[in-house]
Structure 1
């Protein structure tokens, strides 16, 4: 039965069907769907199978329901164009339909549509007169030109047309990156695909997007402007049923397979029969959901082969980069899909009136593209006939869209009246870009650097073996310049990103004779690391001759266990760093491309407190090395495309841009200070002194408590990460978190304090707990927001066969204009909680309760976010550890707001007795004992 969730993204899904079905008629079996509308662009990948996803996020809401695999990027005709004095931006905000673009005559902002109008790619006279307050006027090209002229007045040496063209370059790059995420990032070579273009704005950008991706063919259906609606009409009626199995792929499973398949087939076919289809119109497809034992990501394969293991291993190798012939395969579920075949597309050649001679243009126009003006004929679509061939540059006006055929492209009308655009001239292999900061290229390089880090993260996630990295996403990837300065990162873990530079610089300093193919790994807190479970892999990127180190890439991830006195390597009672696990200090992981597995295994197992699962550690370190290799490949491609001097220059420019953004914020700050108390009696003390003349500030932690006897000490790189994060948050703009943010800041972190400890002080809690206290102290000093829950609520449990670690969400602090969010990971952590089904399947526990802790947020003019109540019952004996704070000292309210509620840690024994645990505590639990974690709420802001 139809439910509301089934309507979500149904329009784009119709576009996928329309693109696939109509492209097949034109002879294309592999396509990239490109649907550009007014607000966003939807892209999809098809190479013979409609790709589905079973989990997606729409408007911040996670949905678990089968739907088409579609990636959306905020780039459409209505995307707003802005200039901040340094960078051009296209999107993510949209002008919508009202007021719409500036050329709509309703006082709207400059948009992508206005850029096309100003450049001559959209002709106002060929649009209906439906604009203006009374909806009776044509598009206003003068308004668009005026807007770009005003920006040109701020930028020496650029015309309004050059600025508009630059904005389009940014929008095109955004869309190209979206396509790479669903294709190149997953191992598909799009140069052999056709770009199936549709949507009202798609035709104006198709050639430029194809050029950005190296694609040679573009397909337009006659209904390209409304293909999503057309696709809905073409869509087959389908019904699916699924049944959980959770059995090994062996003979026992096959003995029960047929009965399950028959039951599901009967149910799906009956649903289609009830909708009026006959039995001969129904086809069925059976699929197996397969995964390796001990993993959580299932691959869905058609049951059309006698060797499902071989098919699974082939698919696993393609998707994740490896397969394990010795590992059992689990059949997670069987699904059957019934497909009605009564709506197949069947187009016939159109009966068009005859035309004398070749196609003649309706008029001639000029449009500006790629930095120059072009004389271009304008053809009306209804005047074209099968067999017509047109060379670019030209415009083709359809009833529902405009197609821009760029220079170097040609188009041919097929027998079915489709249009196929083909690249006829070789495209430039290297871009002519100067080394001076350019507003267009600054934005493009910002996005390119971030894209590389995102691709590294995708590679790490898909090739990792552990739940902690693969499912909880407790990892970070980043790109660094030649000196080890952070250039860009994906939106991963703030506590990682601001401290990884110390690891990279340690590798640089201690390895002057690096060779191509060398990769290094470390976690030593007193030599570039933070705490032992966070292990960082660093790789140099050499030039094409393998003689000079150009850049560095790094990947850091939290390992579920790296040894130590407690399973999970997060002991509450550690007093020295050696008790927390295996120290890895500048170890060469790969020697000129050779993975040193024997030496690594010896390091992990020959320690006072060795790693409990070295095989998993090794597998995850291989995944990090693979992520670094991906980053290396992408940086080399960038150098090949733009040249080394340009890439180096823009690595500096993006940091300069971040620096200027922070300086603008500092200019509006005043001197301030704050003290943040922790449960163990320690104090984080910070004073911020502002020099408005130089727009710089000193952040001084003098007065902070000395080294603690417990493990709440934090290496100075952790403090640095917190400062970087806070000042980046103050910038209400889309800038990368990089080393430029710290250039206006002088940090004073007294040696011998708990924020700058000396060996062998324990540090495992400093990275996760003290980092949060530093963050809240900084926000408190700045008056930016009340304290958040101020803890990661680090819960670890395990025994000889199982080790598990999670951080638990809580309340965010309120601010001057906003309430705190409920039940979120705050500030220095950004990980995901393990899904209940995975938690209970992989570990001998039951999640009895996970709910919002009502009333835990602080009161005020704006209220703090609520914490959570989480209860986990054990099914076998375990050793449990909790690292937390704000069990004694409440998260502070600000400006008259009240404090958030204290957190609580309780063990409910099977006999009904309760044991209260301290902030830092360990204990043994037995079967049917329950750990209950009540996380703190955020502080309130302002008097109620």
Structure 2
């Protein structure tokens, strides 16, 4: 047997999935995360597979999703870094952009993002490239050498280099690297021209600074992971998920960690695409709710929406990524009373240690999980890896002391308020992901996963008027499983700003072929069979009066060779842009405002063999046979259903009958998650073991 292993480290649990590449057999493992040293839970999860008969010697590939880069940015816990810029551009991070989030009405209250590199560590060097790529003034090598020696003497271990117009001609930045290699070879160095070949100096510089500041920690981290694999006796290759939904060798993430800021969440989205495909549900809205946060993504026609530029916390990052909205609301989110008796949920989290009060590990704060336990929505059983037993009395005490007593209500009413607020916050995130992008959420199916996604799915669907909910077979392990359902991917971008009427097709075709070949070259180096190497190409367009663009796909093929951009394909891409603008914003300027091309992009893809999603063995059982027994659950009142305590059947996930419908309320339990079927809903199990719930 040859195994492929996916390991996703979350804020509370580390999820491990191993798949036999030949048979599709899956083995699951779940261990507590170790936030103080994520590589420890990685090693624990890998070691736990041996109890299931998965040998390290039989493991060909280990795929990993990580939040190390994300958390470092969110918590501002990264290395001190220096920055080298062109003469006269020392305050590039202060200048930033003239836009103000929420409009200029907020200008009196808005604070610009905190500097990644303090002003006192920014150094200017003389030399200048024109926007055409021609050298206007030679690089002052002596000043670069002096800066390198200064940073070395100061003990600054990481340095970012972002020179003006280097996206067009990187010669000066490459000369800086050559000097550093001579003077300060141990320095972690990032060239903006290698990270992003796009214009917009502020975003390129900011991304380069963040990447540089993350390099020391991520380099050490991937070395620890490789060491854990070797210690287990394995020789498998380690690949890391990127924010764009593709894998790269671990060495690539060590040098460009900024590309992994949405590593874990992107894997879950890829799993949703695969599971939606076999369920004939190509249009999904994912709801990935873990212990610390909730990630939401829109999938249309089986593909997730992508961004050419993403945002993490306060920072705009110049790297392709899956379009994911992240909310500070998870199962461990802490509920508190603020101001004038106002209830707030999150963004603070109880995390893995001590965790919610219901975990019985010393937690005393009231959390979303505790609210579910108080209302009977999580039965008194074990959670996660089986080491956590639900303590209902501790959960009730935490809700009473922190919330109910202060508001003068019962613990049940307080718990219901916590869940109502958490669900409303998630519904707002769903709206930002769908309505704000010109999509009607009512025509999509909600896809909940993560340990807590199934607890809120029906309620969120009701708020957004979504008619269907699709729950995968192992929702708490979907991100780890998604790591095994994606391909190797390397992105390349080239700035090319022309108005439609000024484009010379021959010049555009040359640039198009060049960027496609660059992406293909990157894909070939990873040892994938030639017939499994492909390229996807894109063009970024905008109207000439606009500042930002929309990306449209031009081509996708797997014959290992870049195709030509024909006149017909060029005109079709322009029409696609008009349609995309109309679909997203409700209008287009077709025939009114000239179209402008801004950039060409390509993704080199090394297609990996997809492990099969097996059908479950049909069970000759009924819902009555599967019932573990009824339990009392507190539900909110709504049209047609009286609220309060309701006798509710509890079903084990592995005993559900296939193809037979049942009505809510009901609770489906499994080791990695719980699904609550609200009153007014029905559910059935499909051939792959997925639950399809529909509103009555």
Q: Fold-level match, TM-score > 0.5?
A: yes
Q: Is the 8 A contact 2:281 2:445 kept in 1?
A: yes
Q: 1: distance between equivalents of 2:464 and 2:554? A: 34
The runs of 5 or more residues in structure 1 that have no matched partner are 131-135, 425-944
Matched, 1:211 2:467: no
Q: Is the 8 A contact 1:120 1:367 kept in 2?
A: yes
Q: Is the 8 A contact 2:439 2:584 kept in 1?
A: no
Instruction: Note closer, same or farther for the CA distance 1:216–1:321 as it changes in structure 2 (3 Å cut).
Output: closer
Per the alignment, residue 107 of structure 1 pairs with 363
Q: Deviations over 1:170-225 (max 9, x none)?
A: 00000000110111122211111000110001111111111111011111111211
Per the alignment, residue 118 of structure 1 pairs with 374
Alignment of 1:145-544 (within 5 A): 145-150=396-401, 151-156=403-408, 158-250=409-501, 252-303=503-554, 305=569, 306-324=571-589, 325-344=591-610, 346-351=612-617, 355=621, 359-370=625-636, 371-424=643-696
Instruction: Note closer, same or farther for the CA distance 1:357–1:228 as it changes in structure 2 (3 Å cut).
Output: closer
Q: 1: distance between equivalents of 2:646 and 2:260? A: 43
Q: Is the 8 A contact 2:543 2:595 kept in 1?
A: yes
Per the alignment, residue 10 of structure 1 pairs with 263
User: If you compute each CA radius of gyration, which structure gives the higher value, 1 or 2?
Assistant: 1
TM-score when normalising by structure 1: 0.43
Using the TM superposition, give the Cα deviation of residue 345 of structure 1 relative to its aligned residue in structure 2, in angstroms. Answer: 5.2
Per the alignment, residue 278 of structure 2 pairs with 25
Q: Where is the helix percentage greater, Structure 1 or Structure 2?
A: 2
SS at match of 1:303: strand
Using the TM superposition, give the Cα deviation of residue 53 of structure 1 relative to its aligned residue in structure 2, in angstroms. Answer: 2.1
Using the TM superposition, give the Cα deviation of residue 129 of structure 1 relative to its aligned residue in structure 2, in angstroms. Answer: 9.2
TM-score when normalising by structure 2: 0.57
Q: 2: distance between equivalents of 1:115 and 1:318? A: 40
Q: Deviations over 1:915-939 (max 9, x none)?
A: xxxxxxxxxxxxxxxxxxxxxxxxx
Q: Is the 8 A contact 2:308 2:551 kept in 1?
A: no
Using the TM superposition, give the Cα deviation of residue 259 of structure 1 relative to its aligned residue in structure 2, in angstroms. Answer: 2.3
Per the alignment, residue 825 of structure 1 pairs with none
Report the count of equivalent residues.
418
The runs of 5 or more residues in structure 2 that have no matched partner are 1-251, 556-568, 637-642
**What RMSD over aligned residues (CA atoms) do the two structures have, in Å?**
2.2
Instruction: Note closer, same or farther for the CA distance 1:421–1:359 as it changes in structure 2 (3 Å cut).
Output: farther
Per the alignment, residue 757 of structure 1 pairs with none
Using the TM superposition, give the Cα deviation of residue 405 of structure 1 relative to its aligned residue in structure 2, in angstroms. Answer: 0.6
Q: Is the 8 A contact 1:38 1:77 kept in 2?
A: yes
Q: Is the 8 A contact 2:291 2:351 kept in 1?
A: yes
Q: 2: distance between equivalents of 1:31 and 1:240? A: 25
Using the TM superposition, give the Cα deviation of residue 128 of structure 1 relative to its aligned residue in structure 2, in angstroms. Answer: 7.1
Using the TM superposition, give the Cα deviation of residue 309 of structure 1 relative to its aligned residue in structure 2, in angstroms. Answer: 3.1
Using the TM superposition, give the Cα deviation of residue 249 of structure 1 relative to its aligned residue in structure 2, in angstroms. Answer: 2.1
Q: Is the 8 A contact 1:95 1:108 kept in 2?
A: no
Alignment of 1:789-808 (within 5 A): none
Per the alignment, residue 325 of structure 2 pairs with 71
Q: Is the 8 A contact 1:203 1:401 kept in 2?
A: yes
Per the alignment, residue 90 of structure 1 pairs with 345
Q: Deviations over 1:54-98 (max 9, x none)?
A: 333334444221111111111111111112452211112111122
Using the TM superposition, give the Cα deviation of residue 141 of structure 1 relative to its aligned residue in structure 2, in angstroms. Answer: 0.6
Stretch of structure 1 that moved more, 342-351 or 407-416: 342-351
SS at match of 2:470: strand
Q: Is the 8 A contact 1:368 1:374 kept in 2?
A: yes
Q: Deviations over 1:610-640 (max 9, x none)?
A: xxxxxxxxxxxxxxxxxxxxxxxxxxxxxxx
Q: Deviations over 1:487-539 (max 9, x none)?
A: xxxxxxxxxxxxxxxxxxxxxxxxxxxxxxxxxxxxxxxxxxxxxxxxxxxxx
Match of 1:37 among 274, 281, 290: 290
Q: Is the 8 A contact 1:385 1:417 kept in 2?
A: no
Q: 1: distance between equivalents of 2:518 and 2:625? A: 55
Instruction: Note closer, same or farther for the CA distance 1:242–1:147 as it changes in structure 2 (3 Å cut).
Output: closer
Instruction: Note closer, same or farther for the CA distance 1:175–1:356 as it changes in structure 2 (3 Å cut).
Output: closer
Q: 1: distance between equivalents of 2:418 and 2:315? A: 31
Q: 2: distance between equivalents of 1:113 and 1:227? A: 20
Q: Is the 8 A contact 1:80 1:95 kept in 2?
A: yes
Per the alignment, residue 205 of structure 2 pairs with none
Instruction: Note closer, same or farther for the CA distance 1:290–1:275 as it changes in structure 2 (3 Å cut).
Output: same
Using the TM superposition, give the Cα deviation of residue 5 of structure 1 relative to its aligned residue in structure 2, in angstroms. Answer: 1.2
Using the TM superposition, give the Cα deviation of residue 266 of structure 1 relative to its aligned residue in structure 2, in angstroms. Answer: 2.2
Using the TM superposition, give the Cα deviation of residue 264 of structure 1 relative to its aligned residue in structure 2, in angstroms. Answer: 2.2
Q: Is the 8 A contact 2:382 2:388 kept in 1?
A: no
Q: 1: distance between equivalents of 2:404 and 2:576? A: 58
Q: 2: distance between equivalents of 1:251 and 1:18? A: 43
Q: Is the 8 A contact 1:128 1:138 kept in 2?
A: no
Using the TM superposition, give the Cα deviation of residue 352 of structure 1 relative to its aligned residue in structure 2, in angstroms. Answer: 5.8
If asked which structure has higher relative contact order (CA below 8 Å, sep 6+), I would say 2
Q: Is the 8 A contact 1:285 1:302 kept in 2?
A: yes
Q: 2: distance between equivalents of 1:296 and 1:251? A: 18
Matched, 1:50 2:322: no
Using the TM superposition, give the Cα deviation of residue 329 of structure 1 relative to its aligned residue in structure 2, in angstroms. Answer: 1.8
Q: 2: distance between equivalents of 1:292 and 1:83? A: 48
Q: Is the 8 A contact 2:294 2:426 kept in 1?
A: yes
SS at match of 1:276: coil
